[in-house]
Amino acid sequence: MTTRSRLRLVAALLFASALLAATAFATTAFAAGGMPPNIDSLDLRPGMKGYGLTVMRGQKIERFQIEVIGVLYNKLPGQDMILVRCAGLNLEHTGVIAGMSGSPVFVTGANGKDLLVGAVSYAFPFNKDPVAGVTPIKSMWPELDRPLRPVPAPQRLLMPGDPLNPGEVPKPGKRVRRRRRAQLFPGLDELSSAPSMSTPSGVASVGMSLPGGLDPSRMQPIAMPLSASGFHPDLVKEMQASFSPLGFGAVQAAAVGASAAGSAISPISEPFQPGSAISLSLVRGDMNVAGIGTVTWVRGNKYIAFGHPFRGIGQVHLPVGGAHIVWVTASQVNSFKMGVPLSDLGVLDQDRLPAIAGRIGPKAAMIPMSVHVRGKGGGTDKTWNVEIVDQPKFFPLAVSLVLGNALRVSEPIAQDAWATMKLTFELEGGYKPLVFTDKFVSIGGTGGLYQVRGLAMRVARVLVTNGFKRIRTKSVRAEFQIEHGRPMAFLEAVKVDSDEVRVGQRPKLRLSFLRPNNKSETVTLTLPKIPPELAGEKLTVWVGPASGKPFERAPPKDVNDVLDAMRDYRARNRLVAVLSLPGRSWMMRGERLVDLPAGVLSELNGHRRKIQLGRTSVRVGKDLPWAIEGSGTVLLQVIDEP
């Protein structure tokens, strides 16, 4: 053996010995269950050197070097920020990488022992140097012992050893103080009145602005890269616009799903250790969406990670597992890890300013969702099965993305597409399911069926944030039949035989519809019999799609009124004529009050509770084979019998 070969062998043995020592140190601290040897930020000095732990490929934990630059005291409320320069693992080229949040950092103490400093957590966008902000471990450590309140109703945890156990029995939630209706019931009035060609609320267009509002002069939490697989590229772009405001970094398609048959990637998560990659799943199954970060420390069955908040929500219960890092993409804006989420290991319990913390063992129950799309005449016939995170901030957006992706990739039609939909939300707590049926038309093809997603998102949002109580969704099912064509009808004219109607008559309305590339068609609607008490009155009749004239309802008094309002959803292919009766009605506490004496009306005008004025109406209608556009009104003068 040559001298050079001997030197290489000695160097390799020394490196292996150092790596084993670091692993042994971490393992010993893990087994002991106590706080590891650490150093306070006040005792750090510029020039002190050490190392950090993170995953750059697969699940293998590797070292990178760090040098202390200085300390920004009280940078955050009651929390210092330690500046370090990183080196090794190609960080000189990539800079600080999205996905490194939580990477533990150590320095060598005076006695030669490794001392835990904290977690890599902050960085400057566009920074040419691999300089990171480190959250001190003494700020993060208390989150391991923060007391947990009872699991919020109606969230569930699946405990180890009993995967079918629904978890703890939720306690009734606190009564919510009533607020203005617009704040209490977001989206409730919009269920039936979404514009036919609009983009759904919460789905933003993709522009050229910097992701997440990056400011090169401001140190920011290192963004969590979002791994997405099974999604059309158009949906990945849209996902970037939707998730960036929520604190996520680059959105990229994973190289392969962890559950893919024949994959070289094992779907099994290795046990958490300091430096392990951690994934937070929002959607999984035939489509996957997950955020990726790094574990800082493990103590017994608890862990801390990130060194900054996920969303700062407080106590949450979200599913976490390991991650397989496929590649690190270097970017001038924000380098990031490309990873694949692996099997669940536990649950994220705390989402706080200095760190996230959770437990290994319990699992967060997710909401199953299936989407079945078939094309008429032997086209696509495919079913997607996924699970969606049970968290109010992400559930509505996830439902919308899954629906949009299934429609986008299943039966691509360039223009003139229409879908017949049945959407079902199965609810827990003894509530009847919410079932919506409708027809949606898009002249821009299947990619333009935004109305479907807008409806699903608003329903999900009302269920989780209706102001009375959160209603847990047991499952979501969607069935679509996609066809080529433009089954639309534009209301062209409304005619009556005479503007004068007699008491006891049933006036007939003749409606003329203009059909694209088809001849005009006439539809007749017969109004209810005119009662004697309306003699001498002038009546207004509104005609159009039921979605354009939802039922007038009193402000809800409880969650059952909210659900009833959603069940009154009317499809775009249902034609209605609404006859408004004279006089006002007063609506409060879920009730409509008609023909009240003047003294009562005077009293109600000063009432502190929300009172809504309305008109009593009657309606008739019929289902048509087309989606209806446009509306009209006619005035009828009621005359008494001769």
> Which residue would you say has higher pLDDT here, 536 or 171?
536
C-alpha to C-alpha distance for 257 and 267, rounded to whole angstroms: 9
> Which residue would you say has higher pLDDT here, 160 or 175?
160
Q: Is 49 helix (H, G, I), strand (E, B) or coil?
A: strand
- The H or E element spanning position 382 is strand 381-388
User: Which has the minimum average pLDDT: 410-424, 494-508, 626-640?
Assistant: 410-424
Q: What's the chain's average pLDDT?
A: 80
Which residue, among 454, 374, 476, has the nearest Cα to 420 in the 3D structure?
374
Whether 477 and 498 map to the same domain: the answer is: no
Single-letter code of the amino acid located at 482: I
Domain boundary at 311, 339, 366, which?
Answer: 366
The residues near 69 (Cβ < 8 Å, ≥ 6 apart) are: 46, 83, 84, 85, 131
pLDDT at 293 over 90: yes
C-alpha to C-alpha distance for 454 and 503, rounded to whole angstroms: 44
- Asked, for residue 151, whether it belongs to a domain, the answer is no
The pLDDT value given to residue 285 = 92
Per residue in 68-78, pLDDT (tens digit) is: 999 999 999 98
Whether 501 and 610 map to the same domain: the answer is: yes
β-bridge partners, 108: 114
In 109-173, DSSP assigns E strands to 114-123, 131-136, 157-158
Whether 53 and 18 map to the same domain: the answer is: no
Whether 251 and 135 map to the same domain: the answer is: no
pLDDT at 401 over 70: yes
Instruction: Give residue 361's pLDDT band: very low, low, confident or very high (50, 70, 90).
Output: very high
- Asked, for residue 552, whether it belongs to a domain, the answer is yes
C-alpha to C-alpha distance for 287 and 257, rounded to whole angstroms: 9
The pLDDT value given to residue 565 = 87
Domain count, the chain: 5
Whether 25 and 37 map to the same domain: the answer is: no
- Asked, for residue 154, whether it belongs to a domain, the answer is no
Full residue range of the structural domain in which residue 52 is found: 30-143
- Asked, for residue 191, whether it belongs to a domain, the answer is yes
Domain boundary at 297, 332, 366, which?
Answer: 366
pLDDT at 192 over 50: no
The pLDDT value given to residue 626 = 87
The pLDDT value given to residue 615 = 59
> How many Å separate Cα 234 from the centre of its chain?
18
Signed CA dihedral, 141, 142, 145, 151: sign only: negative
Q: Which pair of structure tokens corresponds to residue 71?
A: 């300390």
Task: Give the pLDDT mean for 615-634.
Answer: 86
Q: Which pair of structure tokens corresponds to residue 413?
A: 């039609």
Whether 508 and 526 map to the same domain: the answer is: yes
Cβ atoms < 10 Å from Cβ of 287: 25
| 559-567 helix and 450-464 helix, angle to the nearest 10 degrees | 170
Whether 300 and 360 map to the same domain: the answer is: yes
Residue 96 sits in a domain whose CATH number is 2.40.10.10
Instruction: Give residue 11's pLDDT band: very low, low, confident or very high (50, 70, 90).
Output: very low
Q: Which pair of structure tokens corresponds to residue 227?
A: 């791994």
Q: Which pair of structure tokens corresponds to residue 543?
A: 């005609």
DSSP secondary structure string, 238-251? HHHHHHGGGTEEEE
**Residues 58/328, Cβ–Cβ less than 8 Å:** no
Instruction: Give residue 183's pLDDT band: very low, low, confident or very high (50, 70, 90).
Output: very low
C-alpha to C-alpha distance for 240 and 246, rounded to whole angstroms: 10
Domain boundary at 366, 397, 413, which?
Answer: 366
Which residue, among 302, 350, 355, 299, has the nearest Cα to 139 in the 3D structure?
355
Whether 608 and 476 map to the same domain: the answer is: no
Q: Is 238 helix (H, G, I), strand (E, B) or coil?
A: helix
Max distance between CA atoms of the chain, in angstroms, equals 124
- Asked, for residue 149, whether it belongs to a domain, the answer is no
The pLDDT value given to residue 303 = 97
Task: Give the pLDDT mean for 212-223.
Answer: 68
C-alpha to C-alpha distance for 26 and 33, rounded to whole angstroms: 11
Q: Is 182 helix (H, G, I), strand (E, B) or coil?
A: helix
The pLDDT value given to residue 311 = 82
User: Which has the minimum average pLDDT: 5-9, 312-316, 333-337, 471-475?
Assistant: 5-9
pLDDT at 483 over 80: yes
End-to-end, the C-alpha distance of the chain in Å comes to 124
| 395-410 helix and 450-464 helix, angle to the nearest 10 degrees | 160
Whether 228 and 349 map to the same domain: the answer is: yes
Per residue in 545-596, pLDDT (tens digit) is: 988 877 677 778 889 989 998 998 888 889 999 988 776 655 555 555 555 5
Per residue in 97-147, pLDDT (tens digit) is: 999 999 999 999 888 899 999 999 999 877 888 999 999 999 999 999 999
User: Which has the minimum average pLDDT: 246-255, 280-289, 434-443?
Assistant: 246-255
Task: Give the pLDDT mean for 616-628.
Answer: 86
**Residues 373/364, Cβ–Cβ less than 8 Å:** no
- Asked, for residue 15, whether it belongs to a domain, the answer is yes
Whether 22 and 36 map to the same domain: the answer is: no
β-bridge partners, 554: none
The pLDDT value given to residue 356 = 95
- Asked, for residue 393, whether it belongs to a domain, the answer is yes
DSSP state of 301: T
Whether 475 and 508 map to the same domain: the answer is: no
- The H or E element spanning position 25 is helix 3-32
Whether 188 and 296 map to the same domain: the answer is: yes
> Which residue would you say has higher pLDDT here, 477 or 113?
477
- Asked, for residue 561, whether it belongs to a domain, the answer is yes
DSSP secondary structure string, 384-421? EEEEE---TTTHHHHHHHHHHHHHHHHS--SS-EEEEE
